């Protein structure tokens, strides 16, 4: 894949006498890959992000977008900030307007888009974050989690090619954290390059294709997560810990219970890999690929799926399920919840956005492909 | 154990509000217990904390402190607050001074302590959170994670009897989160009653004895975590998730027809339960004080060069900074996991943690793994 965004030997300090926060930073972000950026507090993650979207100019070195170095001319900077959007950790840092709809419209209006295009984007972005009922609400009245969603809507409304999410789940309860992860997956499925900084090793391990580890203003590791975690000394130096699933999988492999590879990334994968009885009857995972105008209820009725637990995953599936007021048991973390039902020997129904199908069945496929069990996937 | 706090039919509505943020809440906090206060955003956790510290006076019901109703008078509240320290989720809400050391000294000086005692407590607290080099720095130059640690130091310097921590690990890197949990455990061993509210269910599942689940301003469940997590519908309704250890254990046991209990809560217990371990690796447990840790290290390691080493606790970690330590963080779980694999290790820990180490060995024995452990 092509390199989309690159920092080449970047040096940066906040004041001339102060320490170098970036000290020869070389980092490449591949187009379309899910990249996790990790590192201890103060490793330079937030500074790197502000350099990558031209909020700050490096003292030395350069930033390249699609192979072209940034010039830091006004026009270039504006273009760069619409191509590369940052969702900051603290939503209060990026609220510009008193009312929700104004705040979300702020970015697109700045891009000088036609009015009805702005309106469409505001509507869709607010729906994507579950805040469509709060359009006219003053920002002041929103809770922290709600503000976080509004700022995410503001970023979505820009339709950037790269989204950088800085600690997107910090301070959110598990339910909201899963909603944010689903949006990240949706963006990835629709071709956006998503970069995520997080301290949650378990979360990033289950999500990322690629790992970048920052230390002392440099990138100390770039590649898939497993080789990095295999080097405990580096993990420790970077201020990190091993993901639980990685550590337990490795220990069991060392003890001769199963092999090291394939690496499970999710709980259900780890559980099935570890269980010794692979011949137990698992449930069927019925998947309804739902576009926005799919009549979900009719499908459920036709295939007699009414009595089963149902999960929903992805934007078009949510729109379709809402239009038909389909009763949903798992409104968040749908794929993993439905897969766990199957592990329990029960059938389940996952209503999913067609572009997110691969991710939706990834745990079930992992289990099937490696002979850890058999979950029949029935695409309705 | 005796009760430290008790809420009886407590309801609270914000002035001008209509919704009961606490809605007929009943809750007992036992002295010296390890408590997790869990709930979705907006469930009422923070309001509960403000109610326990007397900041909010409930419109209905009674809050008892050591068996007596809280008196909302100046003296009554001062007494209450000299016992209770709170670490807020957002550190910026509890920063009072411009310099780090001044900020940490603020509480102790307010308690009327003399300068010398205050200086000692400040130095100790800053070291416990690894912020000593920043003592003379202005707070506004610090990162969010660093400010969080300063806020924690400020609470530690109060030497409270009850410590309330609201999202203490949010925004901290994984190692710093482990340090916070070590500190929470140390406070527990010192007899402090610790209440932690967090969304990090995996971290808290390893630590808490009692989980109090709040849903829509009421207590939905109070007791050992497993009793709550065994009821997935309620967990889902409360907007929570089950810890990954709990999930994996449940699924494997269901598939293999095993008893889910005893429940593994961390990596060593999980691998001991499912890895069919053979011979245990040996863990040499060395409890030490800051002063004698380097000498003990030299003495123990004389005959054990090459064996993996770990540190647990801020005193020993600080005292052994220039020694060769393989595992700096989460070392207890890592060394015990090593033992399950048959690997030997030496674990240096602050002497106060001896009961925690023993508790870990006992939990492994319950799972059927007899860890080979020598305490020096």
The candidate with the shortest Cα–Cα distance to B109, out of B118, B122, B101, B96, is B118
Answer whether B245 sits within 8 Å of A244, measured CB to CB.
Answer: yes
3-state helix, strand, coil in chain A (%, to 5): 40, 20, 35
* Band of pLDDT at residue A75, cut at 50, 70 and 90: confident
SS3 (DSSP) at A168: coil
Q: Would you kindly state where each structural domain of chain A is located, as residue ranges?
A: 3-237, 284-379
* Band of pLDDT at residue A268, cut at 50, 70 and 90: confident
Answer whether B274 sits within 8 Å of A257, measured CB to CB.
Answer: yes
pLDDT given at position B48: 95
Q: What is the third-level CATH fold of B3-237?
A: Rossmann fold (3.40.50)
Element (H, E) at B4: strand B3-13
Query: Is residue A315 pLDDT above 70, yes or no?
Result: yes
**What percent of chain B stands above pLDDT 90?**
73
Q: What is the third-level CATH fold of A284-379?
A: Cobalt-precorrin-4 Transmethylase; domain 1 (3.40.1010)
Nearest to B40 among A40, A175, A276 (CB): A175
Residue B91's φ and ψ, nearest 5 degrees, are -60, -25
The residue in chain A having the minimum alpha-carbon distance to the alpha carbon of residue B244 is: A267
Answer whether B247 sits within 8 Å of A267, measured CB to CB.
Answer: yes
**What percent of chain B stands above pLDDT 70?**
100
**Mean pLDDT across the stretch A309-320?**
93
Query: Is residue B344 pLDDT above 90, yes or no?
Result: yes
Q: Which of B175, B279, B317, B324 to mutate to test the interface with A (most CBs of A within 10 A)?
A: B175
pLDDT given at position A194: 97
Tens of pLDDT, residue by residue over A37-71, are: 999 888 889 899 999 989 999 999 999 999 999 99
**What percent of chain A stands above pLDDT 90?**
67
Q: How far is it, in rounded angstroms, from Cα A20 to Cα A12?
A: 6
pLDDT given at position B51: 94
**Mean pLDDT across the stretch A311-323?**
92
Q: Would you kindly state where each structural domain of chain B is located, as residue ranges?
A: 3-237, 273-375
**Mean pLDDT across the stretch A288-309?**
94
Tens of pLDDT, residue by residue over B28-37, are: 999 989 999 9
Query: Which segments of chain A does DSSP mark as H helices, in order?
Result: 45-52, 74-83, 100-110, 115-128, 144-156, 174-189, 201-207, 225-229, 232-237, 244-254, 267-274, 296-302, 315-323, 334-343, 357-360, 362-369
Q: Which of A147, A252, A374 to mutate to test the interface with B (most CBs of B within 10 A)?
A: A252
Q: Which of the two residues, B218 and B40, has the higher pLDDT score?
A: B218
Q: How far is it, in rounded angstroms, from Cα A175 to Cα B43?
A: 13
pLDDT given at position A111: 84
pLDDT given at position A88: 86
Answer whether A267 sits within 8 Å of B244, measured CB to CB.
Answer: yes
Answer whether B144 sits within 8 Å of A143, measured CB to CB.
Answer: no
pLDDT given at position B232: 87
Nearest to B202 among A173, A244, A280 (CB): A244
CATH of domain B273-375: 3.40.1010.10
Query: Is residue A264 pLDDT above 80, yes or no?
Result: yes
Element (H, E) at A34: strand A34-38
| Cβ-contact B100, B124 below 8 angstroms | no
Query: Is residue A279 pLDDT above 80, yes or no?
Result: no
Q: How far is it, in rounded angstroms, from Cα A105 to Cα A120?
A: 10
> What is the value of pTM for the model shown?
0.90
Contacts of B272 in chain A (CB under 8 A): none
Tens of pLDDT, residue by residue over A79-135, are: 888 899 999 887 877 777 889 999 999 989 988 899 999 999 999 999 888 888 899
B177 touches chain A (CB under 8 A): yes
Nearest to A241 among B174, B254, B326 (CB): B174
Tens of pLDDT, residue by residue over B307-319, are: 999 999 988 998 9
B308 touches chain A (CB under 8 A): no
Answer whether A270 sits within 8 Å of B41, measured CB to CB.
Answer: no
Residues 6+ apart with CB under 8 A from B358: none
The overall average pLDDT reported for chain B is 92
Answer whether A173 sits within 8 Å of B329, measured CB to CB.
Answer: no
Nearest to B256 among A175, A270, A277 (CB): A277
Query: Is residue B1 pLDDT above 70, yes or no?
Result: no
CATH architecture of A3-237: 3-Layer(aba) Sandwich (3.40)
B341 touches chain A (CB under 8 A): yes
Cα distance from A233 to chain B (closest Cα, Å)? Answer: 8
Tens of pLDDT, residue by residue over B135-180, are: 999 888 787 778 888 988 999 999 999 999 998 988 788 888 888 8
Tens of pLDDT, residue by residue over A193-243, are: 999 998 889 889 999 999 999 999 999 999 999 999 999 999 999 989 999
B262 touches chain A (CB under 8 A): no
Contacts of B171 in chain A (CB under 8 A): 41, 89, 167, 170-171, 199
Tens of pLDDT, residue by residue over A330-377, are: 988 899 999 988 988 899 999 999 999 999 999 999 999 998 888 999
pLDDT given at position B175: 87
Cα distance from B325 to chain A (closest Cα, Å)? Answer: 10
DSSP state of B26: E
Query: Is residue A1 pLDDT above 70, yes or no?
Result: no
């Amino acid at each position: 894949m092509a390199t989309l965004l690159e920092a080449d030997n970047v040096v940066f300090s906040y004041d001339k006498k102060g320490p170098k926060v970036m000290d020869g930073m070389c980092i490449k972000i591949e187009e379309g890959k899910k990249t996790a950026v990790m590192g201890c507090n103060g490793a330079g993650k937030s500074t790197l992000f502000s350099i990558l979207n031209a909020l700050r100019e490096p003292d030395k070195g350069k930033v390249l977008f699609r192979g072209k170095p940034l010039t830091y001319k006004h026009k270039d900077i504006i273009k760069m900030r619409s191509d590369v959007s940052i969702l900051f950790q603290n939503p209060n840092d990026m609220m510009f307007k008193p009312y929700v709809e104004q705040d979300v419209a702020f970015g697109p209006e700045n891009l000088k888009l036609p009015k009805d295009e702005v309106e469409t984007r505001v509507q869709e972005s607010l729906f994507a974050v579950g805040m469509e009922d709060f359009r006219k609400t003053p920002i002041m009245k929103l809770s922290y989690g709600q503000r976080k969603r509004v700022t995410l809507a503001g970023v979505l409304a820009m339709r950037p090619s790269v989204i950088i999410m800085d600690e997107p789940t910090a301070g959110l309860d598990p339910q909201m954290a899963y909603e944010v992860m689903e949006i990240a997956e949706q963006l990835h499925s629709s071709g956006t390059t998503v970069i995520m900084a997080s301290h949650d090793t378990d979360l990033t391990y289950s999500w990322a294709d690629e790992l970048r580890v920052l230390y002392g203003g440099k990138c100390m590791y770039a590649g898939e997560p497993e080789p990095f975690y295999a080097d405990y000394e580096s993990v420790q130096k970077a201020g990190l810990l091993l993901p639980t699933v990685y550590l337990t999988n490795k220990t069991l492999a060392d003890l001769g219970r199963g092999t090291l590879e394939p690496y499970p990334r999710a709980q259900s994968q780890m559980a099935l890999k570890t269980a010794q009885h692979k011949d137990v009857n698992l449930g069927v995972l019925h998947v309804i690929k739902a576009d926005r105008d799919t009549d979900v209820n009719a499908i459920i009725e036709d295939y007699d799926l009414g009595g089963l637990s149902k999960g929903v995953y992805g934007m078009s599936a949510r729109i379709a399920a809402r239009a038909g007021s389909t009763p949903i048991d798992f409104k968040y973390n749908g794929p993993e919840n439905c897969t766990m039902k199957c592990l329990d020997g029960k059938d389940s129904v996952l209503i999913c956005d067609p572009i997110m199908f691969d991710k939706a069945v990834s745990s079930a496929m992992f289990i099937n492909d490696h002979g850890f069990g058999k979950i029949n996937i029935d695409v309705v | 154990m005796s009760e430290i706090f008790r809420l009886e039919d407590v309801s609270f509505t914000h002035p001008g509000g209509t919704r009961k943020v606490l809605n007929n809440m009943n809750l007992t906090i036992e002295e010296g217990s390890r408590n997790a206060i869990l709930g979705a955003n907006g469930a009422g956790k923070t309001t509960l904390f403000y109610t326990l510290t007397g900041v909010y006076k409930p419109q209905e019901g009674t809050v008892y402190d050591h068996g007596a109703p809280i008196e909302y008078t100046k003296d009554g509240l001062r007494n209450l607050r000299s016992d209770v320290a709170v670490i807020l989720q957002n550190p910026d809400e509890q920063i009072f001074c411009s310099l780090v050391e001044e900020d940490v000294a603020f509480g102790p000086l307010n308690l009327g302590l003399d300068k010398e005692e205050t200086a000692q407590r400040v130095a100790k607290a800053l070291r416990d959170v690894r912020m000593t080099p920043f003592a003379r720095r202005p707070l506004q130059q610090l990162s969010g994670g660093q400010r969080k640690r300063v806020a924690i130091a400020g609470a530690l310097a109060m030497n409270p009897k009850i410590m309330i921590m609201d999202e203490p690990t949010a925004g901290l890197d994984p190692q710093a989160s482990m340090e916070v949990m070590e500190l929470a455990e140390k406070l527990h061993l010192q007899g402090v009653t610790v209440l932690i509210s967090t969304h990090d269910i995996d971290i808290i599942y390893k630590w808490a004895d009692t989980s109090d689940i709040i849903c829509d301003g009421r207590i939905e469940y109070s007791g050992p975590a497993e009793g709550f997590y065994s009821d997935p519908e309620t967990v889902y309704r409360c907007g929570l998730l089950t810890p990954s250890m709990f999930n994996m254990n449940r699924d494997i046991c269901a598939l293999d027809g095993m008893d889910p209990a005893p429940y593994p809560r961390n990596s060593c217990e999980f691998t001991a339960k499912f890895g069919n371990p053979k011979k245990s690796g040996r863990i040499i447990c060395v409890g030490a004080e800051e002063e004698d840790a380097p000498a003990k290290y030299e003495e123990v390691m004389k005959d054990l060069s090459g064996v993996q080493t770990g540190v647990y606790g801020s005193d020993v970690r600080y005292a052994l900074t220039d020694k060769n330590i393989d595992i700096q963080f989460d070392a207890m779980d890592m060394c015990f996991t090593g033992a399950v694999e048959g690997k030997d290790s030496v674990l240096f820990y602050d002497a106060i943690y001896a009961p925690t180490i023993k508790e870990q060995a006992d939990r492994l024995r319950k799972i059927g793994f007899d860890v080979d452990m020598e305490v020096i």
